[in-house]
Amino acid sequence: MLPNGYSDVPGSKLAAVVTCLEMRERPALRPERSAVPWTLRRVVEPRTEWYRDLFRRVGLEWLWFSRLTMPRSELEQILGNPDVEIHALEVDGHDEGLLELDFRQAGQCELAFFGVTRTVQGTGAGRWLMNRALEQAWSRPIERLWVHTCTHDHPQALAFYLRTGFLAYARRIEIADDPRLIGLAPADAAAHIPIINRT
């Protein structure tokens, strides 16, 4: 049980509030742009370097780090699992969005990673990709689709998920090493979360 009030966090660590969201029925899709300049491409057994590059380009700004600290062999096992679907949003021959659906738990799907690069944010790409995510996820016999988002993510991410039809069911605090202080992310990543410099 966490005490009320402030809890000190060492400067070398990050603290995020995680909101856990789920939906238990296939929702109606929200309106999306038509005649879009992008496509969705499933990437079966992606190369680790390709995956890590896209993961970084979408997520470093939001301090996504879990897949960067994971041992390569563990990551390769996930990427090669037929119950994990990796999709790229392709724009003009460049991959600018990542959609990862994890069906490894029977009857469920985790929207494990979801996001687009800054190049296409705010252009309708996120909503289009979410509609594809919902179609893909609910095309399998699942009873539940779930996702976690945290306070390091895009400030509009939580509201975006709520509009999609996810309901919040839990909140957690996540403590982790600041990836910018251990060489996993450049020091100028995620300017909205300042590095704590204590002398």
Ligand X SMILES: CC(C)(COP(=O)(O)OP(=O)(O)OC[C@H]1O[C@@H](n2cnc3c(N)ncnc32)[C@H](O)[C@@H]1OP(=O)(O)O)[C@@H](O)C(=O)NCCC(=O)NCCS
Binding site residues, ligand X, CB under 6 A? 30, 32-33, 58, 62, 114-116, 121-127, 149, 153-154, 156-157, 160, 163
Query: How far apart are CB 19 and ligand X at their closest, in Å?
Result: 10
Query: How far apart are CB 3 and ligand X at their closest, in Å?
Result: 28
> 46 vs 115, which CB is nearer to ligand X?
115
Within a 10 A sphere around the Cβ of 45, how many other Cβ atoms? 12
Residue nearest to ligand X (CB): 126
- How far lies 195's CA from each of 50, 105, 129, 174, 198, in Å? 28, 36, 32, 17, 9
> 16 vs 157, which CB is nearer to ligand X?
157
Query: How far apart are CB 44 and ligand X at their closest, in Å?
Result: 23
- What φ, ψ does residue 76 adopt, rounded to 5°? -65, -35
Q: How many CA atoms lie within 13 A of 131 on its CB side?
A: 12
Query: How far apart are CB 190 and ligand X at their closest, in Å?
Result: 11
CB-based contacts of 122: which residues, under 8 Å, 6+ apart? none
> 136 vs 141, which CB is nearer to ligand X?
136
